[in-house]
Amino acid sequence: MPQVAQVHMDVVPDAAHVRVVRLVAVSLARLHGVPEDVVEDVRLAVGEACARAVAAHRRHDVDQPVKLGFEGGPGLKVAVSDGVALPEASGDEAVRLLLAGPDDQSPDADSEAAPAVMALLEGLAEQVSVHTGHSGTRIVLGWGAGR
Amino acid sequence: MDLSLDTRNEGDWTVVAVRGEIDVYTAPKLREALVDLVNAGRYNLVVDVERVDFLDSTGLGVLVGGLKRVRANDGNLRVVCTQERLLKIFRITGLTKVFAIHDSVGSATDG
């Protein structure tokens, strides 16, 4: 198993690329010893975080890439950072802001998924933090390695 | 697009068999199909996700949106799913209380 290793990805905010990110996450989770019965949770939670970031970029017309940082060994920590400026918040309130439209009058279809997102992240990852701010939203997810 | 839909009528029910991954990229295709069915007057829908490999919150949002649309017409939307990894998603998000989840199309279209 490799020692501590970092992988960074810049992803063009296109929904088609979220699947690529999921495949990378699964591959790195296996490489860094995340138990096989948890790898599916990694796929789902990282896909979820990245999908929300990509959707936020599209909703707010932000062209810059979504940034992903993977830190492995042992276990896996994943940070998903977008470039949509939002008020400072954390946890449920941060997720609500992330899923909202550019103004309160124009929520898109994603808002139907809002209550599910935090529940999914918290239900699937062993460590979760979500922070919004003026430089964007940062979602950090973590899983330990098996014994 | 890594999602295919097969729609067929079984009595009063319309069964939408979904195959592939339902995510932020492919979910609009499913949303469009459900909206088209409701617009065509099909208000009793069964969405069969037995051959779905991946479902994220966008997909769940589409199913919830579909349920709201059929209920507005006194219809129903039932889900067929026995895959534990998908059932876990329905459980985590509390949607097992929202959707009737059946273990076969036969059971979903019965009654």
3-state SS class at A38: helix
Report yes or no: A119 at the B interface, CB cutoff 8 Å. Answer: yes
Whether residue A22 contacts residue A68, with contact meaning beta carbons closer than 8 Å, is answered with no
d(CA B37, CA B66): 10
pLDDT of residue A61: 93
Under DSSP, the state recorded for A13 is S
Rounded to an integer, the average pLDDT of B4-31 is: 96
Tell me the per-residue pLDDT of A107-117, one tens digit each, with 9 for 90 and over. 444 555 666 88
pLDDT of residue A105: 45
pLDDT of residue B37: 97
Mutate to test the interface with B, among A117, A121, A122, A130 (most CBs of B within 10 A): A117
In the predicted model, residues of chain A with pLDDT beneath 70 are: 1-3, 103-115, 147
CB-based contact A48 B95, cutoff 8 Å:
no
Give the number of beta-carbon pairs within 8 Å between A and B.
Answer: 66
Minimum-distance CB partner of B61 among A40, A113, A119: A113
d(CA A105, CA A100): 9
User: Distances from the Cα of A95 to the Cαs of A20, A36, A52, B10, B108, in angstroms?
Assistant: 23, 28, 9, 40, 34
Strands B3-10 vs B100-102: parallel, antiparallel or unpaired:
unpaired
Tell me the per-residue pLDDT of A76-99, one tens digit each, with 9 for 90 and over. 999 999 999 999 999 988 988 888
| A3/chain B closest Cα distance in angstroms | 30
**Which residues 54-113 of A are in CB contact (within 8 Å) with B?**
54-55, 109-110, 112-113
| B7/chain A closest Cα distance in angstroms | 23
CB-based contact B54 A44, cutoff 8 Å:
yes
Task: Give the confidence band of B63 by pLDDT, cuts at 50, 70, 90.
Answer: very high
CB-based contact B54 A18, cutoff 8 Å:
no
Rounded to an integer, the average pLDDT of B50-58 is: 94
pLDDT of residue A107: 45
Question: ipTM above 0.85?
Answer: yes
d(CA A83, CA A27): 26
| B11/chain A closest Cα distance in angstroms | 30
Task: Give the confidence band of B16 by pLDDT, cuts at 50, 70, 90.
Answer: very high
pLDDT of residue A99: 86
